[in-house]
Amino acid sequence: NALGISNHKKGYLMSNVSLEQQVERLTAIEDIKQMKARYCSYADNGYDPDGMASLFTEDAIWDGGDFGRYEGVQDIKSFFSNLSNEIVFAIHPVMNPLITIDGDSANAKWWLIMWCTMMVDGKKEGRWFAAEYDDYLVKQNGSWLFKHIKVEGKFLASHEEGWANQTG
């Protein structure tokens, strides 16, 4: 084609997809990226429980593995309202998004590499945390919301010791 883009490669422009459908898909992907950025911003702002809760459906699930599993927006909000007592500082950069749109539902996968300060035995400790996010989202009333977040931790290591002994 004129753009030099192969029509047979998955994820690229397809000849049977209208320009309007392509714009809708790209808009949904960008909306989801912005929503995840808000999630990270709320997390980096003391795990703002009201902000975090505003991004979830009423029946959502947040499954953080060793951090626990919380069902329903009120349970999720309660978890985040207490988390800043354990993690007193955090930076949540997420990267490498893989986002698949299917009408009013979507799946988004991200990598997280987090720097944080955690309370350990009453003392502040610098930590490294790496994880994969696997998010399922739905579009309700024109906005994307989290239906299910799964956080698969890869390591949580002290800053001094690093992660080398925790990874393969």
pLDDT (tens digit per residue) in 49-77: 999 999 999 999 999 998 999 999 999 99
- At residue 4, does pLDDT exceed 50? no
At 14 the pLDDT is 56
Give the span between the Cα atoms of 99 and 27, in whole angstroms: 12
Q: What angle do CA 23, 28, 32 make, to 5 degrees?
A: 150
At 159 the pLDDT is 85
> For residue 73, what are its two tokens?
């927006």
pLDDT (tens digit per residue) in 11-37: 555 568 889 999 999 999 999 999 999
At 163 the pLDDT is 81
Residue ranges of the alpha helices (H) in 5-86? 19-44, 49-53, 73-83
At 9 the pLDDT is 47
pLDDT (tens digit per residue) in 93-126: 999 999 999 999 999 999 999 999 999 999 999 9
SS3 12: coil
Regarding pTM above 0.85, the answer is yes
Class of residue 73 by CB neighbours under 10 A (exposed 0-12, middle 13-18, buried 19+): buried
At 17 the pLDDT is 81
At 72 the pLDDT is 98
Confidence of residue 6 (pLDDT cuts 50, 70, 90): very low
Give the span between the Cα atoms of 148 and 129, in whole angstroms: 21
